[in-house]
Chains A and B, each alone.
Chain A
Amino acid sequence: MQPWTRVVWIGPFSVSLALIGTLALQNKMLQAAHPDGETADAQKNALPTVVLRPAPLLQMPGVPVPERSLDHEADSNNPLHWDGDTLYLFNNESHPWRSSGPDLEHLGGRFSVDLGAQNNKLNIWIESTWKDDDGTLYGAYHYEPDTICFSNQHILTAPRIGWIRSHDNGATWEDLGFIISADPCAINCQTHSPWDSGGTGDFAFILDHKKEFFYFYGTSYDPRFEEQGVFVARLAYADRNNPSGKVRKWYHGGWTEPGSWGHVSPLFPAERDYHTPDGAMFWGPAIHWNTYLNMWVMLLNHARDTKLTEDGIFISYNRDLAKMDGWSKPAMILSRDGILQATTIGKVVDGMMLIPRGVYYGELRAAGDGTVIADTLSSGWYPQVIGTAQGETDKLCGRRGRFFMTGMSRLEITFLKPGEKPD
C-alpha cells in the first residue's frame, strides 16, 4: 500500500478560484514512529492536520528567462530572511536573484547576486539561508556541474551542495566550499532521468533550537537504489565559518559518513529506482518550524516517474530534529488534480488562451478542461510554506501561512493541532 492512500479526507476540496472550499486532512501515519501501543484514535489525534484555502494570487518576483518567455521563474526552494523591517527573498533559475521589500506581497528590486567570479558562470541555486545573530547571512547552494556525462551539455548533471556566507544580506557571497556531495564515481549516464545521473541536491537546511546543528534535508539521486531518496546530514553551528569536511551524513543509524563522498541511509527511501522510467520517490524537502504546532514541518514532492511528474505534495512532522525516527510518515496534502487546479492560470475562450495581465507568461498550453496551464507552474514542484507575519519566512510559520509551488501561491495553509477542527 502506498503511504498516501491512508490519508483521511474530512472535508470537501476545491481550489477553484470561483469556489472557496476547504481541505482538511488528517495524518494517521505515525504508527511506525510511535509503535508504543497507542490506540488508533490516540494516534489519529497525535498529529496535526492542515487546511488549504483559496487565496489571492501571490507571485514571487522570480528570475527573468527571456529565451523561454518566462518572467518569474523559480526553479527551487526560495529562501527568505528578515533584516529589520526588510524581507529578502532569493529566487533561482541557474543563478540566484534577490528581491526585497516590506513584506511578501511587496517585493521588488530584483537583481542577480554575485556568487564569485567562477560561480557566476556556472549553474547554481541558493536553496536555503539562515541569518545569524551578528547579521551574517549563511546559505547553501545546489550546484550542477556541466558535462558530467556529455560534452557540451549541462545535463545530465550530478548536483553538489556548497556553503556560502554574506555580509550584505546576500547581494554578494563568499564561498566556503562544498560540504555535501556524492561519490563522483556514483553516476549513471544511462539513466532515464532527463536531469540527474547521480549527485545530491534539491534541499533545505535549518538550525535546531539549541543552535547546535544545521540539519540538511536533501535529495539523493545516487545510482544505488538503496541510497536514493531524501537524505539527512548535519553541520555543527560552531563550524559555520569553516565547514569543509565537517558535515556528517546520516547512515545506518548514526552520523557516521562524511558529507563529501559518504554514503547515506535515506530518511524517506525511494520506492522505485529513480533512474528507471517508473522511478518513484520523495524529493525536494522544504522545512520550517511551526510556532503554532511547536513542531518541525517538512513538505515533500513525490515523483511518480523519473521525469519527476508530481503525483502529490506531502507533509511530515517531527518534534526533534535529532531524532530521525521522529518524522511522521508523509501524508498527501495536495493531489495531482489539486496541483493542477492551484496552478491553472487562465481559460480558453474562443480558441484564445486568456491569462491575467502581468502575472506570468511563457510555456502556456490549453488543458483539456478549457483552462490554461503553464507547464513550469503546473509541475507542482518546490512546495513551500511561507509565514506572512513580520519575522516569518520559509523557515518560520505560525497557524497560517502561504502555500507556494514554483514561486506562486493561490492557497493559504492553516495548521491545526491534533483534534482541532477547521474554522
Chain B
Amino acid sequence: MFLITGFGSGSGPTRPDQSTPNPRPRAEGTLPSFFLRPAPLIQMPGLDNTDYNPHQIDSNSPAHWDGDTFYLFNSWLHPVRTSGPDLLHLGAPIPVHMGKVNDRLWTWIESTWKDDDGTLYGALHYEPDNVCVANDHLPTAPKIGWIRSLDNGETWWNLGFVLAADPGSIRCDTKSPWDAGGEGDFSVILDRNKEYFYFFFSSYVKDFSEQGVGVARLRYANRDNPLGKAWKWHNGEFSEPGVGGLLTPIFPAKSDWHEGNADIFWGPAIHWNTYLNTYVILLNHAIDSKMTQEGIYATFNSDLSNPKGWSEPRRILDREGILKAIRGLRVDQGTGWYPEVIGMQKGETDKLCGRTGRFFMEGMSRLEIVFLKPGEMKE
C-alpha cells in the first residue's frame, strides 16, 4: 500500500536550541492526528515553463469561491488565475494584472481572502532584482505586499508592502541559491472573530536568531489601508513594525539558513479545519541551504492570537514518501515543496477543510489527507 502516515509519532528534527521557554503542546492523545492515502492524480494548471514543466507552480496556491465558481491562483514569477466549478474542472490559466511596475517584476500571489462584500484581498511575495549581484535576480530578499481586487483577482490594486526585513539584513555570501535575506514564502488567514489577518512567513534574514517561521498580524479593519499597520511577533508581543521590524520565530531555524547545513522550517500553509475546530499549518523542512526537503510537517493551534500555542511540528511525509507522491515530475523538479491542504467540498479552499481534503505539493496531488480528532482511530 502507498502508505504514508503520520500519527503524531513525533518523528523529525529535534527542537532547535533557541526554542521558546514555554513548552509546546505535545502530549500524546491531546492533539489531532492524520493519515494520508493514495488518490487519483490532480494537477493544477500552473504556468508553462517551456521545456521544463508545463505546470510550473512555485508557491502556495490560494483559492476562493464566488458563488458556484472556484478560483485558483498559481504563481511562478507571475501569478495566473484559473476558474471552474471545482478543483477538478479548472479552465485555462490567464495571467493576472498586478500593476504597471509589478507586471514587469517577479511576484507570487501566495494567499487570498474573499471579503463579504465581494472584494478579494491578497498578499504577494515579491522578489527584488539585483539585491546582491548585478544583472541577476538571485540571490534575492523577498518582501510581502498587500493587494486588493474587485474582479476576483483578474486585476489587482497594490496597497503596499506590509512585511519586510531590514534592507541591510542580508548576506550576499549566503550559501542559499535563492535568498540573501528577506521575508516571504507565507500564507495568511483571518481569525474567526474577524479581528486580524495572521501572516505566517519564512524569515531568511542575516541574524540567525530571527530565521525560521515568523508570525505577524494586520487588523481586519485596516485591510484597505494597511501601510504601517502590520505588526510582527517579537519577544512575546506583536510589537515590531511589519516593515523593518525584528521578529521572534515561532519555529526558529536550527542551523543558520545561510550556511550549507541549514536546518529550517519554511513555507507555512495554514487552513482552518472545521472537523478539528483548529488551525492547521503544513511546513516544509529544509536540511540544507538548497532547501532539500527532509519531510513535510504539521502543527496545530486553536488560537491564532497565541503564537506559543502551536504544537510541536510532526512529520506527515518523509523524503521517500515525497518522492513517491511527486513521481512523474522531472527529477530536478521534484522538490516536494509547497505542501498544501485543499478542501474539496463546495466552499472549501486552501484556507478551509473538513475531515478529508487533498494534499498537494507543487500543485500536484496524489494523496488524500484525513484528519482525526485526539484519540480517534483510523478507519
Contact = CB atoms under 8 A, between A and B. Distances in A.
Interface string A148-190: 0011111000001010000000000001111000011101000
Chain B contact residues: helix, strand, loop or mixed: loop
B101 A152 contact: yes
B161 A177 contact: no
Contacts of B145: 151-152
Contact of A151 (B126, B129, B133): B126
Interface string A97-131: 00000000000000000011111011000000000
A118 B129 contact: yes
Given A147-B126, A184-B167, A116 B135 contact: yes
14 contacts: A118-B137, A121-B104, A145-B128, A146-B128, A147-B128, A147-B161, A151-B126, A151-B145, A151-B160, A162-B135, A176-B134, A178-B130, A184-B168, A184-B170
Most chain A CB inside 10 Å of its own CB: which residue of B104, B134, B136, B168: B134
Contacts of A162: 134-135
B130 A122 contact: yes
Contacts of B168: 183-185
B300 to A, nearest CB: 33
A218 B101 CA distance: 27
A143 interface: yes
A122 B167 contact: no
A150 B130 contact: no
Given A185-B166, A185-B168, A118 B130 contact: yes
By DSSP majority rule, is chain A's interface helix, strand, loop, or mixed? loop
B129 A145 contact: yes
Interface in B276-332: none
A151 B158 contact: yes
Interface in B246-268: none
A177 B128 CA distance: 16
Nearest to A176: B134
A152 B128 CA distance: 11
Nearest to B133: A177
Interface residues of A, number: 26
Q: Give the 9 A-B residue pairs with the shortest CB-CB distance, closest first.
A: A175-B135, A152-B158, A152-B99, A116-B135, A185-B168, A184-B167, A151-B145, A162-B134, A152-B102
A181 to B, nearest CB: 10
B98 interface: yes
A118 B166 contact: no
A152 B134 contact: no
A153 B126 CA distance: 13
Contacts of B161: 147, 150-151
A146 to B, nearest CB: 6
Interface in B145-186: 145, 158-161, 166-168, 170
B130 A153 contact: no
Contacts of A143: 130, 134
Nearest to B137: A118
A184 to B, nearest CB: 4
B101 A154 contact: yes
A12 B70 CA distance: 76
B140 to A, nearest CB: 11
Given A152-B158, A184-B167, A185-B167, A147 B133 contact: no
A119 B134 CA distance: 8
Contacts of A150: 160-161
Nearest to A150: B160
A231 to B, nearest CB: 20
B100 interface: yes
Nearest to B101: A152
Contacts of A122: 129-130
A160 B134 CA distance: 10
B101 A175 contact: no
Given A122-B129, A147-B128, A187-B167, A152 B137 contact: no
B88 interface: no
B94 interface: no
A143 B158 CA distance: 24
